[in-house]
């Protein structure tokens, strides 16, 4: 959540409260993947089965329509359900879920470079 929220130096105090020294870069594709992982995780945390999760996704007609216009499919639902399935598989096998993101979330490589200190 920090990576989705701390994207500007304007909220550096907020980031510092969580130990982040520099804001994260805004990257639409990265943010989409990160939000999709979070959405799938919340479905799992709230113990929604796959069918219920698909139903919830179908209650967002504006997102569905936007995706159909842009991608020719309801991409958001597909990706979230794919991740949901991967999380369920990991749970069944007793192995940790492996993020699709490379580098992983909150990695310094997806943050802005630090602002050098000004010396006078």
CA dist 86 and 89 (Å) reads: 5
Q: What is the pTM of this model?
A: 0.86
> Up-side HSE of residue 75: CA atoms within 13 Å toward CB?
11
Helix (H, G, I), strand (E, B) or coil at 47: coil
Report pLDDT for 43.
98
For residue 113, name the pLDDT band (cuts at 50, 70, 90): confident
Say what angle helices 28-45 and 75-93 make with each other, to 10 degrees: 50
Residues 24-80 have pLDDT tens digits of 989 999 999 999 999 999 999 999 999 999 999 999 999 999 999 999 999 999 999
User: 21 and 114 in contact (C-beta within 8 Å)?
Assistant: yes
pLDDT at 41: 97
CB atoms within 10 A of CB 23: 20
Domain coordinates in residue numbering, the chain: 27-103
């Amino acid at each position: 959540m920090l990576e989705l929220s701390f994207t500007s130096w304007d909220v550096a105090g907020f980031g510092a409260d969580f130990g982040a020294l520099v804001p994260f870069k805004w990257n639409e594709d990265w943010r989409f993947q990160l939000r999709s992982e979070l959405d799938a995780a919340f479905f799992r945390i709230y113990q929604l089965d796959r069918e219920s999760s698909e139903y919830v996704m179908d209650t967002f007609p504006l997102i569905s329509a936007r995706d159909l216009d842009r991608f020719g499919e309801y991409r958001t639902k597909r990706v979230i359900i794919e991740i949901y399935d991967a999380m369920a598989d990991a749970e069944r096998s007793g192995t940790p879920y492996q993020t699709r993101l490379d580098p992983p979330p909150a990695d310094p490589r997806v943050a802005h470079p630090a602002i050098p200190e000004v010396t006078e």
